[in-house]
Amino acid sequence: MENLDVSDNSLASLNKTSLSGILVISLIQLNVSRNHIRDIHEETFVGQSRLQTVDLSSNNITYIEPKTFTYNPSLEMLSVSSNKFLVLPEEGPFIHSGSLRVLYLSACDLSHIPPQTFKSVPNLEELYISHNRIETLRPLQGNGRLTLIDVSNNYLISLDPGVFTVFPKLHRLNLSYNRLTDLDIIPQLPNKTCSEELNGNPWVCNCSTFHTAYSWCHDKGVDLRLLCSSPPKYKGVQWTVYGKEFCGDDNEYVEQMEGFVISADRLQSIRMYENYEIQQASMYIPTEIQELDTNIATAEQSTKMASDIEVRMKEKCVIEFLTAEQIVPIDIHRHLLKVYGDNTVDVSTVIRWVVRFNSGESEVHDKPRHGRPCSAATPHNEQRLIRTDQQKTTKNCQF
């Protein structure tokens, strides 16, 4: 007999003669899952030199003697998943096996993995420890051959940097559905990391971590489509909404106010303009000439505003289209620059519209606004008020 399946029964233990007593000596696959097994004798599998796969999942196992699989030189896969009472030794190895390549310890209610747990399984390549309560993933001893670790659906809040030093061959690390928040971990991840292995975490998106993560993804050709959990206005939006240039560099400080982003240079110019006062006494101009100049300026301004509105409408349509194509804001801005040149909206405006379109908004026309009429602030009105009250300045003309 090569394959023995006694799953979904009422077995309470595996003793020394459970297999040899029924003359089973050449097993390749053994399935004893979904029983009530609590104890396993350390000599249960002695003599099973061809045994390759053992499924002990969904039982009541509390402890496995480390020497239990020492005499099974062909063992490649062992599953102990869904044993809620399993206890890993704090010191020393979980089991001894020089041939084991794949180990399942998922859904065992484990809160941590002691460093020496797998030190005696030197050829282990795949480790599945998902659906536990693990909060921190620390370096493990003696597992330099590991290529895959699945630690999804745990309570992970951090990764020990040493994890990636002791696992030089690691190329798949599933961290999905944990409690990770810091994008700084991204550059430490294996090159083959994909979005599905990072989804379900409450990522905090900000400029301080964006540059490093974005550069790593760009250099490695990795397309990560992670969703921000905070700040609130970007919740549910892809992390690339920030755009590399939007976050600025060493010589450009960015201020964020109510969804608008203003560079330090531009903000300084605005403040200087607001503090500038018109000295009416030193520059007298006849009223008729002032009114004529004002009317001409107002007409020119109206024509320019109509043209600007038309350009903005076109740009919004382009932003909506490129957002649907999953193009990041900074690249959308580059596309607009090529077409509209100096008339292109700034990056902060692109980001604002990307957020709106990603949230389901599809209207490209400006929505009606409540409040005072739009005739409030015009050059004509400003000059009229200044002439009426010589103490007024442009800064005071708030309609």
pLDDT digits (tens, 9 = 90+) for 318-370: 888 888 877 777 778 888 888 888 788 887 788 778 878 877 776 655 555 55
Please give the Cα distance from 16 to 335 (Å, whole number). 72
| Contacts of residue 293, Cβ cutoff 8 Å, sequence gap at least 6 | none
CB atoms within 10 A of CB 2: 12
Angle between the N-to-C axes of helices 379-388 and 287-324, in degrees from 0 to 180, rounded to the nearest 10? 140
Question: Of the candidates 382, 394, 396, 399, which has an alpha carbon nearest to the alpha carbon of residue 278?
Answer: 394
Angle between the N-to-C axes of helices 347-358 and 329-340, in degrees from 0 to 180, rounded to the nearest 10? 120
pLDDT of residue 351: 79
- The better pLDDT of the pair 396, 112 is held by 112
- 176-180, 186-190, 236-240, 266-270: range with lowest mean pLDDT: 266-270
pLDDT of residue 277: 39
Q: Is the pLDDT of residue 144 over 90?
A: no
Please give the Cα distance from 16 to 22 (Å, whole number). 11
- Rounded to the nearest angstrom, the gap between the alpha carbon of residue 57 and the centroid of all alpha carbons in its chain is 32
Q: Residue 128 is which amino acid?
A: Y
Kindly state the average pLDDT of the residues 239-249. Answer: 58
User: What share of the chain has pLDDT > 70, as a percent?
Assistant: 72
Please give the Cα distance from 172 to 295 (Å, whole number). 69
Q: Is the pLDDT of residue 308 over 80?
A: no
What tokens does 239 get?
A: 């992390």
pLDDT of residue 63: 94
- The better pLDDT of the pair 206, 114 is held by 114
Q: Whole-number mean pLDDT of the chain?
A: 76
pLDDT of residue 249: 42
Kindly state the average pLDDT of the residues 70-97. Answer: 94
Contact 126, 102 (CB under 8 A): yes
Please give the Cα distance from 183 to 196 (Å, whole number). 15
Kindly state the average pLDDT of the residues 11-39. Answer: 88
Give bridge partners of residue 40 from the DSSP assignment.
14
What tokens does 383 get?
A: 């000059």
Kindly state the average pLDDT of the residues 236-260. Answer: 49
pLDDT of residue 362: 64
pLDDT-based confidence at 183, cuts 50/70/90?
confident
pLDDT of residue 64: 95
pLDDT of residue 196: 84
Please give the Cα distance from 135 to 317 (Å, whole number). 45
pLDDT-based confidence at 174, cuts 50/70/90?
very high
pLDDT of residue 358: 77
For 13-37, letters b (16+ CB in 10 Å) and e give: bbeeebbeeeeeeebeebbbbbbeb
User: What share of the chain has pLDDT > 90, as a percent?
Assistant: 34
Write out pLDDT tens, residues 202-221.
Answer: 888 777 777 778 777 877 77
- 70-79, 151-160, 177-186, 324-333: range with lowest mean pLDDT: 324-333
Write out pLDDT tens, residues 368-391.
Answer: 555 544 444 455 555 555 555 555
- 5-14, 58-67, 141-150, 385-394: range with lowest mean pLDDT: 385-394
Question: Of the candidates 389, 367, 149, 351, which has an alpha carbon nearest to the alpha carbon of residue 259?
Answer: 351
Q: What residue spans define the domains of the chain?
A: 285-396
Q: Give ∠ CA 185-190-192 in degrees, rounded to 5.
A: 125
- 57-66, 139-148, 253-262: range with lowest mean pLDDT: 253-262
| This model's pTM is above 0.85 | no
